[in-house]
Chains A and B, each alone.
Chain A
Amino acid sequence: MKKTVVIIFCIIVSLSVTGCWSSSELNDYAFVMGIAVDQGSEPDNILMTVQVAKPSGFKSTITGGGSSEDAFWNVANEGETVFSTVRGFTHESGRKLNFQHNAVLIYGYDIAEKGIQDCLDLFVRDHEFRASTWIAVAREGGAGIFETTPDLETIPAVQIDKMMKSQKYTSETYTITLLDFLKRLKSGTTAPVAPLISTSGEEDNKIIQLSGTGVFNEDKLVGELSRTETRGLMWVEGNVKSGIIVVDCPCGKGKVELEIFQAKSKVTPVIKDGQLSIKVEIQEKGNLGAQTCDEDLAPTEKLEVLGESQNKAIKAEIEAALEKAQELDADIFGFGDAVYRKYPKQWKELKDQWGEIFPTLEVEIKVQSEVYGTGSITKPVE
């Protein structure tokens, strides 16, 4: 009898001491939606700005209370190291920061040029961060991005998240998650890339913009790709999901816009007579999206002609990207990894000289594309 009472007592006590466990209420947490890491006031310091979702402001927007309260709260903290800075936020925020729903990680331009290795480890190591967080580099300070007022979303970080997801419709910005960024960083030869983000517009009415892609060498930002160059990179990787290619009309006047439907790529390293070269094959299928001329483009011969110009356009994009990459000596395409996979033995020697090999690497580009549809109509609208 005594024993039972003791056992029951133990169970009740152990179950009611929930404080020590990881149970906690939603309103005990401050949910971080975005993090920006910038150069601090001292050379060794970092300035971290977090964007926290503010439920009370959110409530007024969903119930339509008419309150103009912001649904987010930006708070900054400066420190020498990342983790201590993160924990340091308790001095400013009554609620513990929770990073489980963090969507974006933005680095300031200056800290990206200095190297981001030091401020990356925690975001990978800690269990609260997600590997699917978007990485971006801000042209100005990262903190400035969070100061904008998005028009469609309530929180700037959520706006960035949606923007990243919608880039597949143009394939002109290379969006990258923390996991993919890390993979590139870890490979040793492949250069990490990250989209560049900036603000534009008036002081009170700034909007967020994605503009090109930043190229890293190891962990340091070394250069930029333009939008077309970015798509050149994505062609090689086979990442192009959709987008518009503008070519001249075969008739000589006006333009034809082709919508990308499907794209595949194949990268094959070839070692011939001790000479390494890369063969890139692209297969693409497109659709006639719009035209400005009044030529009837529906006949098969015409579509074939269009396919030819499409081939050229794609090839040009890839060549532009390749030129830029070789200029920066940054293997953004992951050719090194492809060589490693095909020639693991030879790679051991090549690896150390990759910095010298890549800028002069011979790349053969073969594009095979077709235009197979004309949309809902065949003849142009007159």
Chain B
Amino acid sequence: MFQYFKKVFRHLKMQNLNQQQEDPFAERPEFVLSSDIDQNLTKFREIFGGSNDIIIREIAFGQDPQVRGIIMFVDGLVDKATINLSIIKPLMYDLRIIHSEGKYRVDIEQIKNTLLSVGEIKQTPVIDQLVNGCLSGETILVVNGLTEGYSISTRAWENRGVQEPQTESVVRGPREGFCETLRINTSLLRRKIKNPKFIMESMELGKRTKTAICIAYLQDVADPALIDEIKLRLNRINTDSILESGYIEQFIEDAPYSIFSTVANSEKPDVIAAKILEGRAAILVDGTPFVLSVPMVFVESFQTAEDYYSRHILASATRMMRYLSYILTVLIPALYIAILTFHQEIIPTSLMLTLAASEEGLPFPSFFELLIMMLTFDILREAGIRLPRPVGQAISIVGALVIGQAAVAAGIVSDFTVIVIAITAVSSFVVAPQSDSATMLRYIYFLLGGFLGGVGITIGMICTLVHLASLRSFGTPYLSPLAPFVARDQKDVFIRAPWWSMGTRPKNMGVQDLRRQGHRLKPEAPQEGNKS
């Protein structure tokens, strides 16, 4: 049986390899420009077909002899003023004046150096490179007689601009968020970290979408092995489209079948900058405001940007409350059903009597009662997210009325069930990065608790812990610094130690430069006799 599977698997693998060899989207370096402009023109027309957003303009410039050229760009992706003023005008107008005055002659080969007043120009004979450049917003200039084309950077398109992110809102802290344009996103990061060691390496992924990707990290802090591993995993991606960073997350994550995500994401430049400064690497993807950061550890989900901006005492308390909320949202329905149907003896007598009174006369078993309410809540939540905002509000009002009032009044569910679901629901919003794992765990534990009681919950918890301990994210144990235990890094797990005491970066990611700040930074009262 195993042999058979192995065979099938190997067969599939071979097929994969074969497919990789005949990649229709790979650049063909042998396919170059000819010196005849008409031939080139035909080729480009052939490649672009009849797309009406691609402008191909033939121009003639210079005198004596007159030279022909082609300018190509995608309408809407380019800054037309730059094209008109910095490319077409110098070629067609300035060059003619220079020639007619006859002061000196400009060689055709020197156009790039002397005439094109644009910041970034690439020169290549490969047609595929020119085509790709054109599609990502560059202007292509091909001149008769030259076997190399110019790819002139003129990118400019409509974008949403930097706005406050919808997720991760803060009371105190920067309000800007990433947007859909990669270049703006990198600039937001660069504005936070003004350091030449802050490296942003770019890549292109997706054979059809040609999505620009950027890996950002601190060269002298991040573990070089981590960066190599990220590049390795990114290069493995062989897909035709990357539309969001979620695509990449699923291609590079360590545990694709786990309910826990091993790649973090954020919409806020300050959060990503902080992670980069801790020694992580960020992966920015063009077209989405969600930036990935790896490696991710479990406790990272309980840290928010505001923990670090507000004072440490309340921040620590709030963080512990976040852990509590996670445990509550995962365990409360399960514990409730287990105690109610298996372990009535552990309820205090007076509470038991109240519970029994509220359960009296209900038609459904508590298990189904609770299951119905859990499903109702999740349906309402999903409806609230997907619907247009005004309708969403109506839905939540209906939901609140149905859950909170009618169901109890009609005697379908007990008021305790409503309280339990309400606590579960409210606390499920506290730890947003783990909300998908919390939802899954809640149902799993609920089934275990409902069918097996406390024993089931215990089994579930053991399995969850074992699973969590087995996870790794880019080489970093998922539960670190709790397991393996690193005493020094406990300063940023359950509590958030004051900034002056957080002298070192987290050790678990193998950073090169462990120390992030000096010693003895605790603010002190001025010494007697030492007044300055």
Task: Name A's B-contacting residues (CB within 8 A).
Answer: 15, 18, 21-27, 29, 31, 33, 53, 55-56, 58-59, 62, 98, 100-101, 103, 128, 130, 155, 158, 161
Would you call B349 and A26 a contact (CB within 8 A)?
A: no
Q: How far is the CB of B341 from chain A (nearest CB, A)?
A: 5
Residues of A near B362 (CB, < 8 A) are 27
Q: How far is the CB of B321 from chain A (nearest CB, A)?
A: 31
Task: Name B's A-contacting residues (CB within 8 A).
Answer: 340-342, 344-345, 349-350, 352-362, 365-366, 447, 450-453
Closest residue of chain B to A23, judged by CB?
Answer: B341
Check A26/B366 contact, CB under 8 A, given A31-B356, A55-B357: yes
Q: How far is the CB of B334 from chain A (nearest CB, A)?
A: 13
Residues of A near B359 (CB, < 8 A) are 25-27, 55
Check A25/B341 contact, CB under 8 A, given A15-B451, A55-B359, A59-B358: yes
Would you call A26 and B356 a contact (CB within 8 A)?
A: yes
Q: How far is the CB of B463 from chain A (nearest CB, A)?
A: 15
Would you call A101 and B342 a contact (CB within 8 A)?
A: no
8 further A-B contacts with Cβ under 8 Å, apart from A22-B453, A58-B353, A59-B360, are: A23-B341, A23-B451, A27-B359, A27-B361, A56-B360, A59-B358, A100-B345, A101-B352
Residues of B near A101 (CB, < 8 A) are 344-345, 349, 352
Residues of B near A130 (CB, < 8 A) are 345
Would you call B365 and A25 a contact (CB within 8 A)?
A: yes
Would you call A26 and B361 a contact (CB within 8 A)?
A: no
Cβ-neighbour of B356 out of A24, A58, A155 (below 8 A): A58
Closest residue of chain A to B355, judged by CB?
Answer: A26
Closest 10 pairs (CB-CB, A-B) = A100-B345, A59-B357, A55-B356, A55-B360, A55-B357, A58-B357, A26-B359, A23-B341, A101-B349, A26-B356
Can you give 25 A-B contacts (C-beta < 8 A)? A18-B451, A22-B342, A23-B342, A23-B450, A25-B365, A26-B355, A27-B359, A27-B360, A27-B361, A27-B362, A31-B353, A53-B353, A55-B360, A56-B361, A58-B356, A58-B357, A59-B358, A59-B360, A62-B357, A98-B344, A101-B349, A101-B352, A155-B353, A158-B349, A158-B350
In the bound complex, how far is the Cα of B361 from the Cα of A15, in angstroms?
26
Q: How far is the CB of A121 from chain B (nearest CB, A)?
A: 20
Closest residue of chain B to A16, judged by CB?
Answer: B451
Residues of A near B353 (CB, < 8 A) are 31, 53, 55, 58, 155
Would you call B451 and A26 a contact (CB within 8 A)?
A: no
In the bound complex, how far is the Cα of B355 from the Cα of A291, in angstroms?
48
Q: How far is the CB of A50 from chain B (nearest CB, A)?
A: 15
Cβ-neighbour of A100 out of B344, B358, B453 (below 8 A): B344
Residue among A15, A26, A29, A56 with most chain B CB within 10 A? A26
Closest residue of chain A to B344, judged by CB?
Answer: A100
In the bound complex, how far is the Cα of B456 from the Cα of A23, in angstroms?
12
Closest residue of chain B to A29, judged by CB?
Answer: B344
Residues of B near A21 (CB, < 8 A) are 451-452
In the bound complex, how far is the Cα of B353 from the Cα of A27, in angstroms?
11
Closest residue of chain B to A15, judged by CB?
Answer: B451
Residues of B near A155 (CB, < 8 A) are 353
Q: How far is the CB of B513 from chain A (nearest CB, A)?
A: 51
Would you call A25 and B451 a contact (CB within 8 A)?
A: no
In the bound complex, how far is the Cα of B353 from the Cα of A55, in angstroms?
7
In the bound complex, how far is the Cα of B361 from the Cα of A27, in angstroms?
8
Would you call A56 and B451 a contact (CB within 8 A)?
A: no
In the bound complex, how far is the Cα of B356 from the Cα of A18, in angstroms?
21
Residues of A near B447 (CB, < 8 A) are 15
Closest residue of chain A to B359, judged by CB?
Answer: A26
Residues of B near A59 (CB, < 8 A) are 357-358, 360
Q: How far is the CB of A1 from chain B (nearest CB, A)?
A: 12
In the bound complex, how far is the Cα of B342 from the Cα of A18, in angstroms?
11
Closest residue of chain A to B345, judged by CB?
Answer: A100
Residues of A near B450 (CB, < 8 A) are 23
In the bound complex, how far is the Cα of B367 from the Cα of A18, in angstroms?
11
Residues of B near A98 (CB, < 8 A) are 344
Q: How far is the CB of A253 from chain B (nearest CB, A)?
A: 48
In the bound complex, how far is the Cα of B362 from the Cα of A56, in angstroms?
12
In the bound complex, how far is the Cα of B432 from the Cα of A267, in angstroms?
63
Residues of B near A23 (CB, < 8 A) are 341-342, 450-451, 453
Q: How far is the CB of B23 from chain A (nearest CB, A)?
A: 34
Residues of B near A58 (CB, < 8 A) are 353-354, 356-357
Q: How far is the CB of A359 from chain B (nearest CB, A)?
A: 43
Residues of A near B344 (CB, < 8 A) are 26, 29, 31, 98, 100-101
Q: How far is the CB of B419 from chain A (nearest CB, A)?
A: 15
Residues of A near B341 (CB, < 8 A) are 23-26
In the bound complex, how far is the Cα of B353 from the Cα of A112, in angstroms?
31
Residues of A near B366 (CB, < 8 A) are 25-26
Q: How far is the CB of B447 from chain A (nearest CB, A)?
A: 8
Residues of B near A26 (CB, < 8 A) are 340-341, 344, 352, 355-356, 359, 366
Residues of B near A103 (CB, < 8 A) are 349
Q: How far is the CB of B53 from chain A (nearest CB, A)?
A: 50
Q: How far is the CB of A287 from chain B (nearest CB, A)?
A: 33
Would you call A31 and B360 a contact (CB within 8 A)?
A: no
In the bound complex, how far is the Cα of B451 from the Cα of A18, in angstroms?
7
Residues of B near A100 (CB, < 8 A) are 344-345
Closest residue of chain A to B366, judged by CB?
Answer: A25
Residues of A near B451 (CB, < 8 A) are 15, 18, 21, 23
Closest residue of chain B to A128, judged by CB?
Answer: B345
In the bound complex, how far is the Cα of B350 from the Cα of A26, in angstroms?
14
In the bound complex, how far is the Cα of B267 from the Cα of A215, in angstroms?
77
Residues of A near B345 (CB, < 8 A) are 100-101, 128, 130
In the bound complex, how far is the Cα of B342 from the Cα of A29, in angstroms?
12
Residues of A near B365 (CB, < 8 A) are 25
Residues of B near A27 (CB, < 8 A) are 356, 359-362
In the bound complex, how far is the Cα of B356 from the Cα of A155, in angstroms?
14
Residues of A near B360 (CB, < 8 A) are 27, 55-56, 59
In the bound complex, how far is the Cα of B349 from the Cα of A33, in angstroms?
9
Q: How far is the CB of A205 from chain B (nearest CB, A)?
A: 24
Would you call A53 and B356 a contact (CB within 8 A)?
A: yes
Residues of B near A56 (CB, < 8 A) are 357, 360-361
Q: How far is the CB of A70 from chain B (nearest CB, A)?
A: 13
